[in-house]
Amino acid sequence: MATPPNPNRLAHPQPGHDAPTLAHLLNLPNFLTLCRLGLIPIFLSLLARHHYTYALYVFVAAAVTDGLDGTVARWFDSRTELGAFLDPFADKLMLLSAFVLLTINGEFPVWLFSVVVIRDVIIVVGYLMVSFFIDERIPVRPTYLGKISTFLQIACVIGALVGLEIRSVEYWDALLYATVAVTVLAGGQYMYRGLVILRSNEPEMFA
């Protein structure tokens, strides 16, 4: 006869299996990421009022916190699942928000915005579909092309914020075209990676 579970044991997990505490989740890297999320409405408010110089300062501050949280997490080995989710989410939210308002303000062409947004939507939907089919959460690891496309998108935002009187029209157009090209290539690379994962798990999917 099976022994009924001990309610005291369920209420008090054994050492080594405790749930993460609030202090563990809100460590310094995660706190920096939350600060970056808090900067987004300030950044958008400045953009909406066309205060591009101040918006640039906030954008640079967000970029600094982005570099700091990853560095601190590696140095002190304080990575958490919350941080692994929040960090790319904060980065993407900041970039997409900037692209939306800068396109509305006429700083970005619609075709650039469309490519960036469609690529990101395809990646997110594809990630969810692959995770659903293989019944497993896939670690988020950006590819080199993905990192380059993010860098170019950040360069586009900074170029838009410094103003037309400073940036060169020829270099500006070259940056926009390069951003679109690398963004599309990175999207194709992520799609290929997803197909490889699905193919490697095909027996389990249809078992």
pLDDT at residue 199 in the model? 83
Per-residue tokens: 34:
């939350």
pLDDT at residue 12 in the model? 45
Q: How many residues are given for the chain? A: 207
Q: What is the rounded distance in angstroms from the CA atom of residue 67 to the CA atom of residue 77?
A: 15
pLDDT at residue 73 in the model? 60
pLDDT at residue 194 in the model? 85
Residue 179 identity (one-letter amino acid): T
Contact at 8 Å (CB) between 156 and 176? Answer: yes
pLDDT at residue 169 in the model? 72
pLDDT at residue 129 in the model? 85
Report CA 178 to chain centroid distance, whole Å: 20
pLDDT at residue 177 in the model? 95
pLDDT at residue 138 in the model? 73
Which residues 6+ apart lie within 8 Å of 57 measured at CB?
A: none
Per-residue pLDDT of the chain (207 residues; tens, 9 = 90+): 444 545 444 444 444 445 455 444 556 777 778 888 899 999 999 998 989 889 999 998 888 887 776 666 666 565 666 656 677 788 888 899 999 999 998 889 999 999 999 998 998 888 888 878 777 777 767 789 988 998 999 999 999 988 755 666 778 889 999 999 999 999 999 888 888 888 887 655 445
Q: What is the rounded distance in angstroms from the CA atom of residue 194 to the CA atom of residue 201?
A: 11
Which residues 6+ apart lie within 8 Å of 107 measured at CB?
A: 160
Per-residue tokens: 91:
């980065």
DSSP structural state of residue 168: -
pLDDT at residue 14 in the model? 47
pLDDT at residue 88 in the model? 77
Torsion sign across C-alpha atoms 76, 82, 84, 87: negative
Contact at 8 Å (CB) between 43 and 62? Answer: yes
Tell me how far CA of residue 104 lies from CA of 50, 57, 175, in angstroms. 11, 21, 19
Q: What is the rounded distance in angstroms from the CA atom of residue 40 to the CA atom of residue 66?
A: 13
pLDDT at residue 62 in the model? 87
